[in-house]
């Protein structure tokens, strides 16, 4: 019997993403620091692109 692939929940994936929490600077105290460390935060458009990439299942190739 073949196992079914786990279902991808894009909302959960983005809400729970440690990467996004770091990029947005929304981690709880003591959990890490805002990324990137140098040069200030990324523009909202770049974070949105990363959010869409994660929601799409983090594919290795575009489009997402």
Residue 63: CB atoms within 10 Å: 7
Per-position DSSP letters for the chain, written without gaps between them:
-PPPPPPP-HHHHHHT-HHHHHHHT-PPTTS---S-SSS-PPPHHHHHHHHHHHHTT--SSS--
> Would you state the pLDDT for residue 53?
92
* Cα–Cα dist 59/52, whole Å: 10
Render pLDDT for 6-60 as a digit per residue (tens, 0 to 9). 555 656 678 889 899 999 888 888 888 888 989 989 999 999 999 999 999 889 8
| Res 2 pLDDT > 70 | no
* Cα–Cα dist 47/26, whole Å: 13
């Amino acid at each position: 019997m073949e196992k079914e692939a786990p279902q991808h929940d894009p909302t959960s994936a983005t809400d729970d993403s440690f990467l996004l929490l770091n990029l947005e600077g929304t981690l709880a105290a003591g959990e890490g620091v805002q990324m990137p460390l140098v040069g200030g935060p990324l523009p909202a458009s770049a974070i949105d692109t990363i959010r869409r990439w994660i929601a799409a299942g983090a594919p290795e190739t575009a489009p997402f």
